[in-house]
Amino acid sequence: MPDFVTLEQMNHHRTPRSAALLALVALSASLLAHAQSASDSAPSSPTQSSSADGVTMAMNAALLSNLSAAPDPTTSDPTTSDPTTSASPQTTPQQPAATGVLCGITHLARCIEDLGQDEKGIFTSPARLRRRDLKWILPVGAAFGLAMAYDAQAQQTLGLHPTLQSNTNTFSEFGSFYASGAEGAGFYFVGLAAKNPKLAETGRLGAEAVIDSGTVTLLIKLTSNRHRPLQGNGQGHFWADGSAHWEWDSSFPSDHATASMSLARIIAGEYPRWYVQTAAYGFAEAIGVSRVLAKQHFPSDIILGQTIGFLTGTYLLHHRALYAGYGHRSLTSRLVDQVHPVIDPTTRTLGAGLSIAFGQ
């Protein structure tokens, strides 16, 4: 059975919990700094109310909740669609007419409607795959296949280390479905209090991405029913006990990896600066690694979970975001474009190469 950590054990391991809190505080401070600079350069809302209801309504008017009128990043202005052209830091996004409402604390019905539309788009997205999508499907599929082949061997190589497992399991809880959703909600309420619609959107879409991706993960868990590393013979078999043993929270895929990556994708998309992206993606990767070290998941569980989270976050950025950093190519995004997979089954090698074009 999984090595769950009791409350008494958690009280003896404060170091990973403190480190995670410091990481979250640092990321929050970075987002607030960018949010404040964006709000200073953006025109102020014509009406502002001191009450929470008034703040939300004023932000809705400024943000324009009518998603049908939201700018499509694929048909953006030519001056910003060129990958080599960066948007001016003083430029504020063009806002469509405020003819609707945004999902928010005062419009929960709209939130439910948005979630339903999201799930419909996400579950039907495989029907819209194109040949160009092979550029990410092939490397991700290759990494997933290799991970599946060596899942059990990887866990056996790690061995059993109770203290390490307890510490990493405690740390990983900061990336759980509930924690990630709460972190997104925290950014949303801070954005409301600061009257900053961009930060509020980051939190709102972050929480929305966690819920959307969580639904996908749950359905796969129910249909895969995979053993965790400390269950059965440790080989991670699917439906090893037949229908007699059916778990709602099986190993495949990792919901911690899914939730933390979906939130990280939203943050990185809204604030495309290398240090924000490094903090967001770095935290998500740390959560994934910690789940493997804690003997809660196999490497392939993490890869699939993070893929689901990343794609879900990308979907919301393209369909819901009004303030995301479209048109700006960060150093990180340009480097990612130059990375290519290195796979050699004969030597059991899996890695990546980086191509640098000088003079560009």
Q: What tens digit of pLDDT does each residue of 212-252 get? A: 999 999 999 999 989 999 988 888 889 887 777 777 889 99
pLDDT at residue 153 tops 70: yes
337 is a domain residue: no
What is the model's pLDDT at position 200? 95
Beta-sheet strands, E only, within the chain = 339-344, 349-354
350 is a domain residue: no
Question: Mean pLDDT over residues 56-66, rounded?
Answer: 37
* 64 in Cβ contact with 99 (< 8 Å): yes
20 is a domain residue: yes
What is the model's pLDDT at position 42? 41
What is the model's pLDDT at position 100? 67
pLDDT at residue 46 tops 50: no
Q: What is the pLDDT of residues 292-321, one digit of tens each?
A: 999 999 999 999 999 999 999 999 999 999
| Gap between the Cα atoms of 247 and 264, Å rounded | 28
| Gap between the Cα atoms of 131 and 151, Å rounded | 30
251 is a domain residue: yes
Place of tokens 């788009």: 121
What does pLDDT average to over the chain?
75
200 burial type by CB count under 10 A (0-12 exposed, 13-18 middle, 19+ buried) = buried
What is the model's pLDDT at position 72? 43
Compute how many other C-beta atoms are within 10 angstroms of the C-beta atom of residue 53: 11
* 229 in Cβ contact with 236 (< 8 Å): yes
39 is a domain residue: yes
221 is a domain residue: yes
| Gap between the Cα atoms of 65 and 157, Å rounded | 51
280 is a domain residue: yes
160 burial type by CB count under 10 A (0-12 exposed, 13-18 middle, 19+ buried) = exposed
What is the model's pLDDT at position 308? 96
Provide long-range contacts, Cβ within 8 A and 24+ apart, for 112-115.
114/67, 114/208, 114/320, 115/208, 115/211, 115/212
Task: Indicate the pLDDT class of residue 108, thresholds 50, 70 and 90.
Answer: very high
Total domain count for the chain? 1
Question: Mean pLDDT over residues 337-350, rounded?
Answer: 64
Q: What is the pLDDT of residues 14-33, one digit of tens each?
A: 344 444 444 444 454 444 44
* 172 in Cβ contact with 296 (< 8 Å): yes
310 is a domain residue: yes
Domain residues for the domain of 271 are 13-330
Q: What is the pLDDT of residues 179-208, one digit of tens each?
A: 999 999 999 999 999 999 999 999 999 999
Question: Mean pLDDT over residues 82-91, rounded?
Answer: 36
